Amino acid sequence: MSFSILKQIGDAQKKKAVVDVRSGDTVKVTQKIKEGDKFRFQVFEGVVIRVERKESHTARIFVRKVTSGVGVEKSFLLHSPLIEKIEITKRSKVRRNNLGYLRARSGKSARLSAKDFDRAAVNTVKVEEEAPKAEEAAPAEAPAEEKAE
């Protein structure tokens, strides 16, 4: 019983729509950062080296980039309210979920072979609309009948 309650709470925290991110994608993650009383947006662009728990409310991606010769990795919770948007810029052909071997490589050996994809279609998020409940539809009809009399 407690599992179902936890699942309901977790599902309530999920975003209604998230971009389908896979390992090997080059993404731009726009993150909201609070500095004092103000918020600003910071973009982190890199290769997704791992995707965890894709269907869960705790779905996480690990993004890696090399800056000034130093490898930097960040993990992002997909359903976090601090993640403003995720944009896929390139999709690569990979055969595994965890691309940890890229950490040991640099230069040309760290490149992934690109795959053709429709950038506009991939970055368009499909929002699942919930069907209206019978309880919500009934009160909306009642006042219309009263006005007719």
List, for residues 27-46, the tens digit of each pLDDT value: 999 999 999 999 999 999 99
List, for residues 85-105, the tens digit of each pLDDT value: 888 888 888 888 888 888 888
User: What does DSSP assign to residue 33?
Assistant: E
Distance CA 53, CA 20 (A): 13
> Taking a C-beta distance cutoff of 8 angstroms, is the pair 50, 64 a contact?
no
Domains defined along the chain, listed by start: 2-148 (2.30.30)
> Taking a C-beta distance cutoff of 8 angstroms, is the pair 22, 98 a contact?
no
Radius of gyration of the chain (CA): 21
- Please report where in the chains the tokens 């948007």 appear, as a residue: 85
Helix (H) or strand (E) segment spanning residue 147: helix 134-148
Distance CA 87, CA 124 (A): 9
Q: The pTM is what?
A: 0.71
Residues 6+ away with beta carbon under 8 Å from 128: 16, 17
Tell me which residues of the chain have a pLDDT lower than 50: 131, 137-138, 149
pLDDT computed for residue 28 by the predictor:
92
